[in-house]
Amino acid sequence: MTSRVVVTGKIPQAGLDVLVDAGIAVQAWTNDVAISRSELLKMVSGADVLVTLLTEKIDSEVLSAAGTQLKAVCNVAVGYNNIDLAECSRRGIKVTNTPGVLTEATADIAMALILMVTRRLAEGERVIRGQKSWQWGMHYMLGAGIQQRRLGIIGMGAIGAATARRARAFGMTIAYTNRSMAGVALERELEMERMSLDDLLATSDVVSVHCPSNES
Please tell me the distance from the alpha carbon of residue 100 to that of residue 85, in angstroms, as a whole number.
20
Query: Tens digit of pLDDT for each residue in 98-148?
Result: 999 999 999 999 999 999 999 999 999 999 999 999 999 999 999 999 999
Q: How many CA atoms lie within 13 A of 56 on its CB side?
A: 32
Query: Tens digit of pLDDT for each residue in 140-149?
Result: 999 999 999 9
